[in-house]
Every structure is written in structure tokens, then in C-alpha cells.
Amino acid sequence: MAQLTETQVLDVLRSVIDPDRQADIVSLNMISGLVVKDSNVGFSIEVDPRRGPQLEPLRQSAERAVAAIPGVTSVTAVLTAHREAPTAPAAPAKAGPAGGTGAKALVPGVRAIVAVASGKGGVGKSTTSVNLALGLKANGLRVGLLDADIYGPSMPRMMAITGKPGSADGKTLQPMENYGIKVMSMGFMVAEDTPMIWRGPMVQSALQQMLRDVAWGELDILVVDMPPGTGDAQLTMAQQVPLAGAVIVSTPQDIALLDARKGLNMFRRVDVPVLGIIENMSYFCCPNCGHRTDIFSHGGAKREADALGMDFLGEIPLDIAIRETSDQGQPIVMSQPDSEHAKVYRAIAAKVWAKVAGPQRGTPKIVIE
Ligand code: ADP
């Protein structure tokens, strides 16, 4: 079976017509946050909030249309309220800047929450999240890892954790732990191959619960593996988590396709500082001879980062060792700490930490030695 593509999904969605506007929902730019993970598809349909309640049939026909594509096993379409992007350059987000006092109360023991995001799936966002978290740990920090990629949770596998989180008090869940990192993932609650149906409000409450109702304890940094994409669902998440900053993972091709720019814009809309960009699968290391080939016009990320005024945090090569170790639940930073790759991840981790722990705009910190 050929792999399902975003184009295939969009093609069938073009047959779904918005009854009020007599045009298809793709041409009307109503589809956002499209995620195709193996045979599972998720997307949101952006609608005017006033029309929301009447559009359930539209949502259902969109789901049915995609479900009819051969090979699709699950489809999740959510209606999301469409909001105009702020027109003034630095208009503050309505819900208050991320990291505002209301949100901070969610996870009081956690010093900084950092999102790892990507313009689309499959660029190595989860692999980067795990190795970044392990790099932060190796640098001496207390680290948590929150798998917010609820459409395709991969942390149980990558961190080699099985079983379900327990609860000592019947109210809060104990996070799972391995390699010295506290981990929470929807994948602990449901089997990895169970297609999950997420409706908009459920997505939000799942994330809030994983923050608020988990006994994270005292952490220096909580790394959040965001769902791929930059649509409204991701935007809502970015708004709900009191983020100290975001890191964007991109492959050289996606940089050319401006996906990194979309990520940057998404976080700007919610006032979250983008700490920088990591170029993943930057060049290819031949497993036999170690020869380096730049298959995807390497170096694009650095140029793009410069052009956008973003920091370039580092480049990770495409190397089978990175894939094998993370797919086996033995991420390279932990299993091969002396490797070049582990060094690069630790260096990136140090840069990220310097940015969030350094002097922060608007939030002076009192440090008692
Ligand atoms: P995403 O979270 O963006 O969907 P993943 O982290 O799941 O992506 O990575 C997708 C696949 O690519 C996985 O099999 C992973 O092991 C592999 N991968 C990620 N980064 C690299 C890399 N630098 N070198 C080799 N394989 C990689």
C-alpha cells in the first residue's frame, strides 16, 4: 500500500462544500493542522465561532470523505474557532501572553517549559525532543518530557517505558521515569496502535491534565514534544502552556518550503519567544565509511535563521545510528554519550538552557545563593 499523503487528503476534502459559502473547504482555507501519521489522519476545520454549532454536519462529511480513502484507519476532524491574526505588529494575544500568571499556576514547581515544534510530521521532532531532554539532563538539569503529540505519541517507545502511571493520592498522576527523566504521554494510557478520536475540547483538557494533574515535582525544564504542524490546534496548545520559549525542528527541504517560517509566525501570534531552529537530517553520514554527503542542500537552516532573525541552534545529520537508537528506546545521547551526535545534542541543550535561564525580559528573578 502506497503511503498516504497530505495531498491525497486535501484532494478529497475539496469535495466537501461549505453550504453557506458554496465553495469547498480547502479553497476557502478552512483546513489547518493537517496531520497524516501512517494511516491516521487529523485536521481542524476553522470556522467562524458563531457558525460553529450548525457546522457539525460539515465536520462529519469531511471525516467521512477522508475515511473513504483506501487505507485510512482513523480520521479526526475538529471544528476550531477561526481567529484573525493580530494586525498590529506586537498586539498582545487576547488570552494574555503565554507564561502569564494564570498559566504559571498550572505547574508551579517547573522553572521553564520549552516546546519543540515542527511545521509538519516526520522531520524528527520527537527524536530531537528526546535527545534534547537527555542532553539537558546530561548537563546536570532536572528534566521532564511531556509528549503532547497526542495524535502519535512516541515517547513510550523512544524512552523505553511501559506500564501505566500510578497515583498515590487518587488525584495526581505520578509521571513515569527512565534515564533520569520524568515522562508523561497519552501513549501510557492507550495502546500505541489504538486510533484515538480527539475532539477540540478533549485535546485541550488532555494537555492541561498532563500539566496540571501530574506530580512533576521540582524541575528545571520541561520539554514539550508538540504535535506536528502549525494549525489552529497547535496554536491553541501553544497558548495553553506557559511556554518560556519554543524550538523549531526542520529539515533542509522544509526550510526551503517555508515551514520553519510558519512555526515562527505561530509562536509570534501567541507571544512565545522562538529560541531558535535546529536543522535535522542536515547532511548524511555514510554508515560504512563515515563520508559526509549534503543530500538536501545543507546549510539552508542557518541562512534562513539569519534571514528571519532567529538563532541557529545546531545541525544534526541523518544517521542510521540516530534512528536505530531512538526506535529501540536507547536514544543516542544516553546510549552513546561519547559520540559526535551526543555532543551536538548536548551543545544544543546548553544553548537552549542559556536562553531560558538567562536574564528574561520582563520577569526579573531573585536568586538566593
Ligand atoms: P516527528 O516527531 O517529526 O514525526 P520522529 O522523531 O518520529 O519525527 O522521526 C521520524 C523518523 O525519522 C523516526 O524513525 C526517527 O528515528 C527518524 N529520524 C529522526 N531524526 C533522524 C536523524 N537525524 N537521523 C536518522 N533518522 C532520524
- Three-state secondary structure along 121-169? CCCCHHHHHHHHHHHHHHCCCCEEEEECCCCCCCHHHHCCCCCCCCCCC
Identify the residue with better confidence: 191 or 156: 156
Residue 319: is its pLDDT beyond 60?
yes
Q: What is the CATH number of domain 103-356?
A: 3.40.50.300
Q: Which residues line ligand 1 (CB under 6 A)?
A: 118, 121-127, 154, 228, 280-281, 316, 318-319, 322-323, 326-327
- Judge whether 214 and 173 are in contact, CB under 8 Å: yes
Which of 169-183, 252-266, 297-311 holds the top average pLDDT? 169-183
Please tell me the distance between residue 50's alpha carbon and the centre of ligand 1 in angstroms. 40
* Residue nearest to ligand 1 atom 24, measured at CA: 318
- If one counts every other C-beta atom within 10 angstroms of the C-beta of residue 305, the result is 23
Q: Per-residue pLDDT for 344 more than 80?
A: yes
Domains in the chain: boundaries = 6-81, 103-356
CA 356 to chain centre: 18
Of 38, 150, 323, 339, best ligand 1 pocket probe by most atoms within 8 Å of the beta carbon: 323
Q: What is the pLDDT of residue 85?
A: 37
Q: Is 119 annotated as a binding residue?
A: yes
Atom of ligand 1 nearest to the CA of 341: 23
Domain 6-81, architecture per CATH: 2-Layer Sandwich (3.30)
Which cell is 273 given? 519567544
Residue 132 has pLDDT above 80, yes or no: yes
**Lowest-confidence range among 25-39, 124-138, 140-154, 210-224?**
25-39
Confidence category of residue 93, pLDDT binned at 50, 70, 90: very low
CA nearest neighbour of 312 among 362, 274, 361: 274
Question: Average pLDDT in the 116-123 region?
Answer: 87
Q: Are 93 and 100 in contact (CB under 8 A)?
A: no
Q: Name the more confident of 240 and 254.
A: 240
Higher pLDDT, 72 or 50: 72
Average pLDDT (305-314) is 85
pLDDT on residue 18: 92
pLDDT at position 106 over 50:
yes
What is the pTM for the complete model shown?
A: 0.70
Q: How confident is the model at residue 322 (pLDDT cuts 50, 70, 90)?
A: very high
What is the best residue among 326, 345, 348 to mutate for testing ligand 1's pocket, by most ligand atoms within 8 Å of CB?
326
